[in-house]
A and B are shown apart, each in its own frame.
Chain A
Amino acid sequence: MKKILVLSLAVLAAACSSSDNSNVNTGNYDRTALMTSWADNIIVPSFENYQAKANVLSAKATAFSAAPSQQGLDELRAAWLEAYLAFQHVGIFDDPKAFELHLIEGSNTYPADVAGINSNIASGTYNLSQPVNYAREGFPALDYMLYGVGNDDAAIIDYYSGNSNARTYVADLASHIKTVADSILADWNGGYRATFIAGTGTAVSAPINQTVNNFVKNLEKDVRTPKLGIPAGLFSNGTTFPNKVEAYYRNNVSHQLLTEAITASRDFFNGKYFGSETTGPGLKGYLDAINAVRDGQNLSAVINAKYDAALAAVAQLDNSFSNQITNDNSKMLAAYQAMQQLTVYEKLDMLQALNISIDYVDGDGD
């Protein structure tokens, strides 16, 4: 190996000159400002939007439950999609309250457990806070309840007219979504905002650390894997599962939901305010401030290019992922690969640059 000792002097000169031209950058990033903007401009507005949509959903479900009708069904379905899209934004922030109430598992575990749903309906007794019900509640369960219980709308309305337990169940599902959303937002508007903003430490348990970890986890485990990887057969001996796509019973919005999720992730990365074109402090700004340059490019630019590539690959997909998987699974695999690249750069390069620990091990280093 070409290892020599003599380099020291030349090195010293190089070191000095290289530090001279970048002395503008102090490498310090105002973490409090970052957390404040995340809370006030992104997270709380996202939850407010989600809560508003969950309220409409719950109201429409209650109305439909009271008197099943075509108009009621249409309105409920529209409210369901609106809330489902809003959920794609809040799934990124698994804050302590959301974690405690199982926002992610309880809202979006799919495929829905149809047998379990039917048994809940039949018995009329269930506790939607229990893990056993994760696949029997949330948006996937509503997807089944609104699109899967009959062959056409008339049959679906008939089903509810003749089944009061089912009417109660559909209202309970929506109401549970609303209750969880209410509690999380109430927590933020209560004391949590202050805790969050103050949590700029380096401990794995510090809110800044958790937020970034949750953000990456969302991309890898809540977006890439279930929306693309599992149905496309990547985790199952190559056996594809057209029935394991998100919103399987509606079957023409999995594309829309995925695009929304990736866009939400990109917006959070860039610090883009929710529902606005304004951009504030974010991971992009943080990476730029600490001069995270890779291969002569800002790491933030590398990551944004990967977001573009992932969205482009997803744009190739059919509105129905079930159809896409059946007709040409290779496009699903390509979209997965694009998401994989993005995941690598975020989970590996970004976390390394930010010096944020990936896991929850608190062992010693040396």
Chain B
Amino acid sequence: MLQQRFHTYLNTYTDAATLAFYRIAFGLMMFFSVVRFAMNGWINKFYITPGFHFTYYGFEWVKPIGIYTYLVFIVCGISALMVAFGYRYRLGIVLFFLSFTYIELMDKTTYLNHYYFISVISFVLIFLPANVFFSADAKRKPSLFSNTVPRYTVDILKVLLAIVYFYAGLAKLNSDWLVAAMPLKIWLTGNTHLPIIGPWLGREWVAYAFSYIGAVYDLFIVFLLLNRRTRLFGFTLVVVFHLLTRILFPIGVFPYVMIISSLVFFSPQFHRKVLAFIAKLFSKGKLQPTENLQHRAVANKPLALFLSLFILIQLLFPFRYLLYPGELFWTEEGFRFSWRVMLMEKAGYIQFKVTDSTTGKTVYVNNRDYLTAFQEKQMSFQPDFILEYAHFLHDLYARKGMADPKVYAESYVALNGRLSTLYINPDVNLAKEDESFAHKTWILPFNDTITGF
């Protein structure tokens, strides 16, 4: 019965224009993101200048490669254009996924949910027939052309988008967000100088209103977009919501990525119109040849199963934090890659102390001698950063001639408007602790309770 329905679904087809539209939108947006990143001087600032980089567990080998790092960005930008034009699409999207993900893995200081989102989307796009319609590939190789694609290849994009929104909404259902209106209460007061809305932002009830509206929006927006009758209203909300976040917070291209991505929920007629408009813009005339209407892009059962498995992982992975003891916001064990977007205000202050095991001589470390301001800021409240930096200090002072340097941290962290408290056990020699997926016992307990997801 279920299998029957799966088969039926597998062999349902939809207009190829939607995937083609998304391919173009995604490719162009990524191209401009890379250009913007370069124009802001961030390649140099984040990857070339710093002498030390924070790596992801298991991906320590992914590092900036000096001046060649620019090449990775060039590959990323060019492959984004290949995707947009549908020119050697498969090669383009694979290169884009690899180069973009490589960039993100080079230094976790710059970790952002939306970068992870782009990696996830581009990974899935590798397996989708996004180049069978309105693409250079289909023009070059007419046998590739298809007017339709299996429906699941479009639906999976919607599902991924739905996960981002819905999980971001779930994550907001916690006592800090709903009872204390934190961290919005902190963030909004910083914007009271803005024209028109500014004077309202310092009011407490406004922080509560924003918190609740934000949670409700995230939880329900996908349903509004799914339903044809509420779609336009939903999209209006998407635009207003993301533009507002753009005004209030420094969140770069993320709002635009989400606005453009949510257009995937629109009907294929809409995507056809957009493509026809583009075609006219370049005076190419007709959108599609009339012959060759059979399904070239056929359903592929193993691929569908593989993508289902991928979705399942996406659904479960954000909940891995349940396997760890302690408060998620405090320990951050399982925090990343779980769509906890703009959810907490956390800051730290950390002073490392390196002691010679033989002589007992002690040095206090000036973090800024080795880290950029951005790296130091991120390091100061994230345990895996702290540990990696402690190992760096151990090795550094060992090279300087210290006997088996012991590394201790005097570390304070403030979370969501609580007074800062000691964060790392100051008596633990961090040089002797190893990174793993196990719980980090040297994080001091959180002296409060946050309930919720």
- Chain A residues near B (Cβ < 8 Å): 1-5, 7-8, 11-12, 14-15, 18-19, 22-23, 25-29, 31, 200-202, 229, 234-239, 290-292, 294-295, 299, 302, 340, 343-345, 347-349, 351-356, 358-366
| Interface hits, B68-113 → A, CB 8 Å | 110, 112-113
Q: How far is the CA of A355 from the CA of B254 in the complex (A)?
A: 21
Given A12-B178, A295-B419 in contact, is the A237-B373 Cβ separation under 8 Å? no
The interface size bin for chain B is: 35 or more
Q: How far is the CA of A8 from the CA of B174 in the complex (A)?
A: 8
- Which of A3, A352, A360, A362 is in CB contact (< 8 Å) with B451? A3
Do B251 and A352 touch across chains, with their CB atoms under 8 A apart?
Answer: no
Do B192 and A15 touch across chains, with their CB atoms under 8 A apart?
Answer: no
Do B250 and A290 touch across chains, with their CB atoms under 8 A apart?
Answer: no
Total CB contacts across the A-B interface at under 8 A? 166
Instruction: State whether the Cβ of B425 lies closer than 8 Å to any Cβ in chain A.
Output: no
How near does chain A come to B321, taking the closest CB pair, in angstroms? Answer: 8
Instruction: State whether the Cβ of B314 lies closer than 8 Å to any Cβ in chain A.
Output: no
- Which of B192, B205, B373 is in CB contact (< 8 Å) with A361? B373
B325 surroundings in chain A (CB, below 8 A): 1
Instruction: State whether the Cβ of B285 lies closer than 8 Å to any Cβ in chain A.
Output: no
User: Which residue on chain B has the smallest CB distance to residue A203?
Assistant: B250
Do B179 and A355 touch across chains, with their CB atoms under 8 A apart?
Answer: no
Identify 5 new A-B residue pairs, CB closer than 8 A, beyond the known A1-B328, A294-B418, A359-B374: A236-B363, A237-B363, A291-B204, A363-B42, A363-B46
- Which of B191, B203, B363, B451 is in CB contact (< 8 Å) with A4? B451
Do A237 and B362 touch across chains, with their CB atoms under 8 A apart?
Answer: yes
B418 surroundings in chain A (CB, below 8 A): 294-295
Q: How far is the CA of A315 from the CA of B418 in the complex (A)?
A: 31
| Interface hits, B399-453 → A, CB 8 Å | 410, 412-414, 417-420, 449, 451-453
Given A4-B452, A28-B199, A201-B193 in contact, is the A294-B361 Cβ separation under 8 Å? no
Do B178 and A235 touch across chains, with their CB atoms under 8 A apart?
Answer: no
Q: How far is the CA of A262 from the CA of B179 in the complex (A)?
A: 38
Q: How far is the CA of A234 from the CA of B204 in the complex (A)?
A: 44
A302 surroundings in chain B (CB, below 8 A): 419
Instruction: State whether the Cβ of B214 lies closer than 8 Å to any Cβ in chain A.
Output: no
Given A348-B420, A363-B46 in contact, is the A7-B186 Cβ separation under 8 Å? no
Do B204 and A25 touch across chains, with their CB atoms under 8 A apart?
Answer: yes
User: Which residue on chain A has the smallest CB distance to residue B254?
Assistant: A366
Instruction: State whether the Cβ of B272 lies closer than 8 Å to any Cβ in chain A.
Output: no
Mark each residue of chain B from 331 to 356: 1 if its CB lies under 8 Å from any CB of chain A, else 0: 00000000001100101110100001
Do B173 and A5 touch across chains, with their CB atoms under 8 A apart?
Answer: yes
Do B366 and A235 touch across chains, with their CB atoms under 8 A apart?
Answer: yes
Q: How far is the CA of A31 from the CA of B189 in the complex (A)?
A: 11
Do B204 and A19 touch across chains, with their CB atoms under 8 A apart?
Answer: yes
6 shortest A-B CB distances, which residue pairs?
A27-B202, A364-B252, A355-B190, A359-B373, A294-B419, A361-B374
Quick one: which of A15, A18, A31, A362 has the most chain B CB within 10 A?
A15
Given A1-B325, A19-B208, A238-B361 in contact, is the A365-B251 Cβ separation under 8 Å? yes
Given A5-B453, A27-B202, A201-B193 in contact, is the A358-B347 Cβ separation under 8 Å? yes
Mark each residue of chain B from 355 to 379: 1 if its CB lies under 8 Å from any CB of chain A, else 0: 0100011111010000011101100
Do A234 and B364 touch across chains, with their CB atoms under 8 A apart?
Answer: yes
Instruction: State whether the Cβ of B253 lies closer than 8 Å to any Cβ in chain A.
Output: yes
Do A31 and B193 touch across chains, with their CB atoms under 8 A apart?
Answer: yes
Given A7-B451, A19-B205, A348-B349 in contact, is the A355-B377 Cβ separation under 8 Å? no
Q: How far is the CA of A302 from the CA of B376 in the complex (A)?
A: 25
Do A348 and B374 touch across chains, with their CB atoms under 8 A apart?
Answer: no
